[in-house]
């Protein structure tokens, strides 16, 4: 290329760039952009390269062909569509029942008419003495509660049709909360519409991710769910073992000192009366330990409220511990209290926090007014008739003595085994020695289902002889450590002393009859 031609091209490029620069400069604010590019290039040339790449990528993306998800669909003829529709089989709405599931459904008794200490059961001509429900004080048959419930039903209707925090709270709900706080000796209380969701809502309301929950490994399923939902750091200690509890708390303390971890909320979680075992927590030791290590105590008294202690106030009554020493007392109103729902009692701050943070309180319709009144009346009856608790204790001891007979030693054991244990219910479980000598040729141990069927045979024999009892039911697949199969016996004052002793004799004879013939 000749020099003149090169010179002309250079002049053209120079003039073009000058014109372009002048045009850019004429744009308002352009000098700021140019200054930014110069400074950025001098200080961080990699940044300019990255930004240019992103600009070119954006331009390419905007100009590229748009992708449509249905572009590659296969077009079917009407005949092919009809054939596919005929061949399609919908998935079942529920999984097919196993033989064990069907067995459980078939063996579920149906109560005819009102619940009572002598229940009418489908398939039986005469009423059965009812030892299968938590009607410990026979408040189900209280005429005073019935009349109050009827009057409330006529006045308020059935449901509240709204959550407590909006328009579901009425005067009878507030009265019940005051009655619970007064009965237990706490500053305040809050009620929930469902018993199961009470504890599983209270725990996550206070314990969050990073907090510590030190939990008895014998807790029931509802408490397990509350612990799981909280997403806290969970440490378990051996069931009702205070020495192991101290060991776990000591380990946590040493970890925090060694790693200089931040301070978080910490709770000890236990049942008062364990529903899976029938034994009592050592509340005096729990309070002592929680003070020593500076933890808060969450106590589930669902099984013990109304039946434990001289006045039926639960473990604080039994151990003579001030209820304010327990940070949260949680309980169900659907057991001895013969109502529905649950409660949490504690300080004013503890209760107020739940009115905004308790999921089951905020997002569930409030308790029906007639059930709130029934629970309030039940607390008054327990207060006014302390003889009911003494009567219940005597019936329980007598029943236990009958089942502690040496003729049952080869077959079963009671949990808890103490004759004077304050619990109004207990579990009958099969001895390991008995199961060990009754394994079949292809078994290393007796399967759980076979053990359940053995106990169901006892239940059926008891019903045949006039006593209604039931196997304890567990969500086996979801339990952390599922308890052994058992028959749960619930004592009630609705039966006379003579009837209760007769029922104990029937249960005893049914065990001997069924166990002596099993797998022979």
* DSSP 8-state assignment for residue 226: H
Tokens describing residue 354 = 């739940």
pLDDT tens digits for 200-257?
999 999 999 999 999 999 999 999 999 999 999 999 999 999 999 999 999 999 998 8
Looking at the DSSP assignment, which residues form a beta bridge with residue 428? 414, 487
The CA distance from 338 to 164, in Å, is 21
Asked if 503 and 402 count as a contact pair (C-beta separation under 8 A), the reply is no
Tokens describing residue 279 = 């034994």
The CA distance from 142 to 313, in Å, is 20
Tokens describing residue 400 = 């236990």
pLDDT tens digits for 160-200?
888 898 889 999 999 999 999 999 999 999 999 999 999 99
Name the residue with tokens 């209270």: 202
HSE (side-chain half, CA atoms, 13 Å) at 99: 4
The DSSP line for 460-479 is HHHHHTTEE-EE----TTT-
Asked if 301 and 273 count as a contact pair (C-beta separation under 8 A), the reply is yes
Side-by-side strand order, sheet with 212-216: 188-192, 342-346, 328-332, 296-300, 266-271, 212-216, 233-237
Asked if 364 and 193 count as a contact pair (C-beta separation under 8 A), the reply is yes
Tokens describing residue 92 = 């079942």
pTM greater than 0.75 (yes/no): yes
Give the residue among 176, 469, 197, 485 at the shortest CA–CA distance from 337: 176
Specify the higher pLDDT residue, 327 or 51: 327
The CA distance from 364 to 358, in Å, is 10
Asked if 158 and 517 count as a contact pair (C-beta separation under 8 A), the reply is no
pLDDT tens digits for 102-153?
999 999 999 999 889 999 999 999 999 999 999 999 999 999 999 999 999 9
* Region for residue 278 given its phi and psi (left: phi exceeds 0; alpha: psi -120 to 50; beta: otherwise): left
pLDDT tens digits for 428-480?
999 999 999 999 888 889 999 999 999 999 999 999 999 999 999 999 889 99
Q: For strand 233-237 and strand 212-216, is the pairing parallel, antiparallel, or unpaired?
A: parallel
Least confident of 30-39, 118-127, 380-389: 30-39
CB neighbours (10 Å) of residue 324?
15
* Region for residue 342 given its phi and psi (left: phi exceeds 0; alpha: psi -120 to 50; beta: otherwise): beta
Own/partner contacts of 433-437, CB < 8 Å, gap of 24 or more, are 434/410, 434/515
- Report helix, strand or coil for 93: coil
- What is the chain's Cα-based Rg? 35
Tokens describing residue 55 = 């600009």
Peptide bond into 416 cis (omega under 30): yes
Angle CA(376)–CA(378)–CA(384) in degrees, nearest 5?
Answer: 105
pLDDT tens digits for 318-363?
999 999 999 999 999 999 998 899 999 999 999 999 999 999 999 9
Q: For strand 342-346 and strand 328-332, is the pairing parallel, antiparallel, or unpaired?
A: antiparallel
| Mean pLDDT computed over every residue of the chain | 91
pLDDT tens digits for 71-83?
667 788 899 889 9
The CA distance from 139 to 141, in Å, is 5
Asked if 316 and 274 count as a contact pair (C-beta separation under 8 A), the reply is no
Asked if 226 and 200 count as a contact pair (C-beta separation under 8 A), the reply is yes
């Amino acid at each position: 290329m000749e020099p003149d031609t090169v010179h002309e091209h250079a002049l053209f490029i120079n003039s073009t760039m000058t014109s372009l620069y002048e045009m850019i400069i004429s744009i308002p604010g352009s000098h700021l952009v140019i200054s930014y590019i110069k400074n950025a290039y001098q200080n961080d040339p990699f940044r300019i390269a990255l930004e240019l790449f992103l600009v070119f990528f954006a331009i390419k993306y905007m100009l590229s062909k748009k992708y449509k998800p249905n572009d590659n669909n296969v077009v079917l003829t009407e005949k092919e569509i009809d054939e596919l529709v005929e061949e399609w089989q919908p998935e079942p709405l529920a999984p097919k029942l196993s033989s064990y599931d069907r067995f459980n459904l078939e063996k579920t008794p149906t109560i005819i008419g009102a619940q009572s200490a002598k229940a009418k059961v489908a398939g039986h001509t005469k009423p059965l003495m009812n030892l299968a429900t938590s009607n410990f004080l026979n408040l189900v048959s209280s005429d005073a509660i019935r009349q109050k419930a009827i009057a409330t039903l006529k006045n308020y209707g059935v449901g509240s049709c709204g959550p407590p925090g909006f328009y579901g709270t009425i005067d009878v709900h507030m009265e019940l909360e005051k009655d619970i706080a007064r009965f237990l000796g706490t500053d305040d209380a809050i009620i929930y519409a469902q018993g199961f969701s009470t504890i599983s809502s209270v725990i996550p309301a206070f314990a969050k991710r990073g907090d510590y929950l030190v939990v008895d490994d014998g807790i029931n399923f509802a408490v397990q769910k509350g612990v799981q939902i909280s997403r806290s750091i969970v440490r378990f200690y051996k069931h009702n073992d205070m020495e192991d509890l101290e060991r776990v708390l000591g380990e946590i303390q040493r970890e925090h000192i060694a790693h200089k971890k931040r301070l978080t909320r910490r709770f000890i979680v236990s049942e008062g009366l364990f529903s899976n075992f029938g034994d009592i927590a050592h509340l005096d030791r729990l309070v002592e330990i929680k003070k020593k290590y500076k933890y808060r105590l969450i106590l589930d008294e669902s099984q013990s409220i109304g039946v434990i202690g001289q006045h039926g106030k639960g473990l604080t009554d039994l151990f003579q511990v001030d209820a304010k020493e327990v940070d949260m007392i949680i309980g169900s109103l659907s057991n001895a209290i013969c109502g529905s729902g649950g409660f949490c009692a504690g300080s004013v701050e503890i209760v107020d926090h739940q009115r905004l943070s308790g999921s089951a309180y905020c997002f569930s319709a409030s308790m029906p007014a007639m059930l709130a009144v029934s629970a309030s009346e039940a607390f008054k009856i327990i207060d006014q008739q302390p003889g009911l608790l003494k009567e219940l204790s005597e019936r329980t001891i007598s029943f236990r003595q009958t089942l502690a007979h040496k003729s049952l030693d080869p077959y079963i054991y009671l949990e808890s085994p103490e004759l004077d244990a304050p619990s109004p219910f207990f579990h009958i479980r099969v001895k390991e020695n008995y199961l060990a000598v009754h394994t079949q040729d292809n078994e290393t141990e007796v399967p759980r289902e076979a053990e359940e069927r053995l106990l169901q045979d006892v239940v059926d024999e008891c019903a045949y002889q006039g006593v209604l009892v039931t196997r304890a039911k567990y969500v086996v697949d979801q339990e952390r450590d599922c308890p052994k199969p058992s028959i749960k016996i619930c004592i009630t004052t609705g039966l006379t002393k003579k009837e209760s002793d007769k029922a104990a004799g029937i249960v005893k004879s049914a065990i001997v009859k069924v166990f002596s013939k099993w797998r022979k």
